[in-house]
Amino acid sequence: MSTIVIAGGAGEVGRALAQSYAADGFHVHVVDKSAAATEIATAVGGTAHIVDAADPAIAETLSEIPAVDVLINAIGVWPTMSLDELTPQAWKTSMGINLDSGYFAVWGCREALRASKGSIVNITSAIALKGHPRMIQYAAAKAGVIGMTRSLALALGPDGVRVNAVAPGLIATERNESLWTESERAKFRDARALPIDLTVEDAVAAVRFLASPAARAITGQTLVVDGGSVLH
């Protein structure tokens, strides 16, 4: 049985990924500090790890998994705030959650990924490529994820491990509906080449493609899934 580790598995994208991979026979490890990880893991016949992904101790927890075919880093927290509200502590907290957590997970799973010649998919954000005046800390951290992805692809490529990233735009989730006003969401939509709302399924499809054998020759890449807001 193939094994997948989803860091941030209690989020909306993480939950959808857990369900999708479990349906294909994967054993799913749901990693999250939220107790909801247990509910999600139980529902898909997987294993829950209740741990703060921003804590370096997560690496030790994940190192106990003997073989990992796919590691997905799906952690993201993006409170909006102005530059004057963005204190050094708020900056540090954002880096810990949005950037450091991904590296800690990779560090913990590195030998298991090498053993299975696995695949890593990091979820970054289209905001990392265009910036936002009230998401400075998030944009910076997620830009760091892109740099980390490229460098890890070079570091792990000789071991047969691929590393890629998915950069979604604003996905129509319950949380995002509450975070942004309708007029703000309309501005995001109007900036897209495709006049569509982005769904969780759009992000899941991109992750699954990059982690699959169909993408065997693809590594170090960032796939932007935003309806054509950022074209690069």
pLDDT at position 180 is 66
* Domain count of the fold of the chain: 1
Per-residue pLDDT tens for 62-77? 999 999 999 999 999 9
Sheet holding 27-32, edge to edge: 47-50, 27-32, 3-7, 70-73, 119-123, 162-168, 222-225
Would you say residue 35 lies in a domain? Answer: yes
Would you say residue 175 lies in a domain? Answer: no
Would you say residue 17 lies in a domain? Answer: yes
Q: Tens of pLDDT along the chain (232 residues)? A: 899 999 999 999 999 999 999 999 999 999 999 999 999 999 999 999 999 999 999 999 999 999 999 999 999 998 899 999 999 999 999 999 999 999 999 999 999 999 999 999 999 999 999 999 999 999 999 999 999 999 999 999 999 999 999 999 988 777 666 666 778 777 777 889 998 889 999 999 999 999 999 999 999 999 999 999 988 6
Q: Which residues contact 100 (CB under 8 A, 6 or more apart)?
A: 54, 56
Active site residue 103: no
Would you say residue 194 lies in a domain? Answer: no
* Structural domain that includes position 219: 3-170+199-224
Angle CA(101)–CA(42)–CA(125) in degrees, nearest 5? 30
Would you say residue 187 lies in a domain? Answer: no
Would you say residue 151 lies in a domain? Answer: yes
Would you say residue 145 lies in a domain? Answer: yes
Q: What is the CB neighbour count within 10 angstroms for residue 8?
A: 28
d(CA 100, CA 159): 23
Per-residue pLDDT tens for 164-201? 999 999 887 776 666 667 787 777 778 899 988 899 99
Which of 26, 78, 104, 138 is an active site residue? 138
Share the mean pLDDT of the chain. Answer: 94
Q: Is 157 in contact with 221 (CB distance < 8 Å)? A: no
Would you say residue 188 lies in a domain? Answer: no
Q: CATH code at 9?
A: 3.40.50.720
DSSP string, 27-41: EEEEEESSTHHHHHH
Residue 71 is classified by DSSP as: E
pLDDT at position 232 is 66
